Amino acid sequence: MTLKKDDAIKAVMSDFEEFANLVLHQLDLLETLIATGETTFPEDKSKELYNNERKLDKLEVKISDKIINTITLYQPVASDIRKIMACYRIIISLERVGDMVINVLRFVETIKTPKVYTELSEVVSNMLIQSASMVNKSLLAFTNDDRDYAIWTIKNDSVVDELNKKMLKKAIKKSTSSNDDKELLMSFINMNSMVSTIERIADQATNIAEAAIYSIDGKDIRHKEVK
């Protein structure tokens, strides 16, 4: 029974690693596209993002089923259950990150005034880089039992919040110095939605870091201030 339990947990973690790496690849690919400052992306890259999103949806279901079966069939010890449940919490957050990557892509594709996007793309790019770094470090915190990385991720959520405020201030300044036509207004609305989505990626990284701490320490720090 013990060998079967260990094999089941290894299978979960193997699929989890594949899932996490694919989400990180999605973020890297989106970073590369955003960094160009263009509103039109190569068709093959957009297609790759959409195809990978479908793979993530299937993997999420597969891992969830394996987690449920492992707990039901093998009754793992408390430390293993914490690890598995933290893994379950993380894949939910990662699946949401994957959805947000696609949402950002769609927001960029709907911008009708490329000049607006180009002028603000540096801040957007910086936000995405910071959010992606938070996701990466929160995952390292979980896989390496590294509490410091988890704390770093949680504390850096405020950095992304500040970048969002900076972007909005720049957008407001430019909107007051331009002709308020319909396309311009819609572009600002889409930009606002896009950066809010990127900010939520950072929020999901914080959730992953909290799950990592639960796995490491057995403490649930959700809704608590980290000191």
Specify whether the CB–CB gap between 167 and 129 falls below 8 A: no
Q: What pTM, to 2 d.p., does this model score?
A: 0.86
Domain count, the chain: 1
At residue 194, the pLDDT reads 85
At residue 111, the pLDDT reads 80
d(C-alpha 157, C-alpha 29), whole Å: 22
Specify whether the CB–CB gap between 209 and 139 falls below 8 A: no
At residue 164, the pLDDT reads 63
The answer to the question of residue 165 being in a domain is: yes
The answer to the question of residue 224 being in a domain is: no
At residue 213, the pLDDT reads 93
The answer to the question of residue 225 being in a domain is: no
The answer to the question of residue 39 being in a domain is: yes
CATH number, domain with residue 60: 1.20.58.220
Q: What is the per-residue DSSP string for 47-80?
A: HHHHHHHHHHHHHHHHHHHHHHHHHHHH---HHH
> Which residues, 6 or more positions from 198, have their beta carbon under 8 angstroms from its beta carbon?
100, 104, 124, 127, 128, 131, 160, 164
CA dist list (Å): 151 to 20, 142, 155, 199, 223 = 19, 12, 6, 18, 14
The answer to the question of residue 223 being in a domain is: no
At residue 182, the pLDDT reads 58
The domain of 86 spans 2-217
The answer to the question of residue 226 being in a domain is: no
Specify whether the CB–CB gap between 5 and 76 falls below 8 A: yes
| 24 burial via Cβ count (<10 Å: 0-12, 13-18, 19+) | middle
The list of the chain residues with pLDDT below 70 reads: 1, 160-186, 223-227
The answer to the question of residue 56 being in a domain is: yes
At residue 170, the pLDDT reads 61
pLDDT digits (tens, 9 = 90+) for 71-109: 999 888 888 999 999 999 999 999 999 999 999 999 888
The answer to the question of residue 90 being in a domain is: yes
